């Protein structure tokens, strides 16, 4: 009989599991006041940074998990641990039934890691050379290679850039080729660290579409980090929030929004640059000319009453009320975590 991990979940359903993972770094400290001091050479000072503090994380096969958190929260460290590039100081990391570090040779054939700021492509060579190079280094069988190239060229629209030098590609094209190259060995797990970093809106939307289709069509397990949280909301069925190396939230985006309530953003354009007065429970944000911005909790106010109150002070030329962005929700939550 198969091992059960939690009621209703079999061990084989789990792609990645981190149990009580701690990771610290030693950061060398410099001295500004005595830059050339001999003392710097002989008495180096180090500061210990806790990047991950007792982190538990379970990712099921076929899931796309969005991994979010403020700067320095420990996201990249988590990705590096799952990729087998680092080992934990304590706790365990198990991925695809293996220890990513000690089973590295066997393990790396089953995962793809894409870092937004780095490329695996040969810079001065055509894109196709990088694929052939990977085939030979990874000793990929001819038949599997042809099948994979066929699928990847079509899925990522590689034909127009196949013979272009990597250094001549736009950032969006480069990311597309890098993602395809990472998927050449047909991995079971994809780790994406900031895959949309620096992309313009069009390239970003295209990249999100590729990732979404990939999960829908292949059932690949995906863990993705991004500073652009609206990207994560587009992709992740599930979001995990980390802050100061600790998991703060694990659930759906709907549940995440419910953490701060149903916040609405309102913009009222009036005939005056003076912002209209509203009840204290409505937060005035800013004015840009005659456009005035507010936030309020939908369940605490009657929208018609607010409009009525503003209309008695000035002429309303335009008004828009929408659900607040996921970025605003996260900003509020990060503030809460920092002050806790």
Ligand X SMILES: Nc1ncnc2c1ncn2[C@@H]1O[C@H](COP(=O)(O)OP(=O)(O)OP(=O)(O)O)[C@@H](O)[C@H]1O
Tell me the C-alpha distance between 77 and 238, whole Å: 20
Question: Binder to ligand X among 14, 21, 51, 329 (CB under 6 A)?
Answer: 51
Is 58 or 77 the residue whose CB approaches ligand X more closely? 77
45 makes contact with ligand X (CB under 6 A):
no
Is 74 or 236 the residue whose CB approaches ligand X more closely? 74
85 makes contact with ligand X (CB under 6 A):
no
Is 99 or 246 the residue whose CB approaches ligand X more closely? 246
Tell me the C-alpha distance between 166 and 127, whole Å: 6
Q: Which of 270, 302, 268 is nearest to 284 (CA)?
A: 268
Cα 178 from chain centroid (whole Å): 17
Q: Which stretch binds ligand X (CB under 6 A): 40-48, 70-78, 117-125, 274-282?
A: 70-78
Count of residues in the chain = 340
Is 85 or 165 the residue whose CB approaches ligand X more closely? 85
Each residue of 81-109: b (16+ CB within 10 Å) or e?
Answer: bbbbebebeebebbbbebebeebeeebbe
Least distance (Å) between residue 3 CB and ligand X? 31
Is 72 or 150 the residue whose CB approaches ligand X more closely? 72
302 makes contact with ligand X (CB under 6 A):
no
Q: Which stretch binds ligand X (CB under 6 A): 69-77, 110-118, 142-150, 160-168?
A: 69-77
Question: Binder to ligand X among 5, 22, 49, 151 (CB under 6 A)?
Answer: 49
Element housing 146 (H / E) = helix 142-155
Tell me the C-alpha distance between 329 and 320, whole Å: 19
Q: Are 95 and 53 in contact (CB under 8 A)?
A: no
Backbone CA torsion sign across 147, 126, 187, 172: negative
Residues 10-29 that bind ligand X (CB under 6 A): 25, 27
263 makes contact with ligand X (CB under 6 A):
no
76 makes contact with ligand X (CB under 6 A):
yes
Q: Which residues bind ligand X (CB under 6 A)?
A: 25, 27, 49, 51, 69, 71-77
């Amino acid at each position: 009989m198969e091992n059960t991990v939690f009621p209703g979940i079999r061990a084989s359903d789990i792609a990645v599991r981190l149990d009580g993972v701690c990771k610290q770094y030693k950061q060398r400290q410099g001295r500004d006041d005595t830059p050339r001091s001999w003392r710097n050479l002989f008495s180096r000072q180090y500061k210990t940074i806790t990047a991950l503090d007792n982190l538990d994380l379970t990712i099921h096969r076929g899931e796309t998990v969005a991994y979010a958190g403020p700067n320095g929260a420990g996201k990249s460290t988590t990705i590096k641990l799952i990729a087998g590039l680092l080992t934990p100081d304590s706790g365990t990391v198990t991925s695809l039934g293996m220890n990513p570090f000690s089973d590295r040779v066997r393990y790396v054939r089953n995962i793809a890691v894409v870092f937004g700021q780095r490329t695996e492509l040969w810079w001065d060579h055509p894109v196709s050379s990088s694929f052939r190079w990977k085939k030979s280094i990874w000793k990929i069988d001819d038949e599997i290679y042809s099948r994979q190239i066929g699928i990847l060229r079509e899925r990522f629209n590689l034909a127009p850039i196949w013979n272009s030098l990597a250094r001549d590609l736009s950032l969006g094209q480069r990311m597309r080729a890098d993602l395809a190259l990472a998927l050449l060995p047909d991995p079971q797990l994809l780790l994406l660290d900031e895959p949309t970093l620096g992309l313009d809106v069009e390239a970003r939307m295209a990249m999100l579409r590729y990732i979404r289709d990939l999960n829908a069509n292949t059932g690949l397990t995906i863990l993705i980090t991004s500073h652009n949280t609206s990207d994560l909301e587009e992709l992740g069925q599930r979001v995990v929030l980390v802050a100061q190396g600790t998991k703060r939230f694990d659930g759906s985006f709907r549940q995440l929004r419910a953490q701060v309530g149903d916040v609405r953003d309102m913009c009222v354009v009036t005939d005056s640059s003076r912002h209209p007065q509203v009840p204290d429970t409505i937060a005035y944000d800013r004015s840009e000319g005659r456009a005035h911005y507010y936030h309020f909790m939908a369940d605490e106010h009657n929208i018609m009453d607010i409009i009525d109150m503003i209309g008695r002070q000035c002429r309303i030329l335009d008004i828009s009320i929408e659900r607040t962005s996921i970025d605003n929700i996260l900003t509020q939550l990060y503030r809460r975590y920092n002050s806790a």
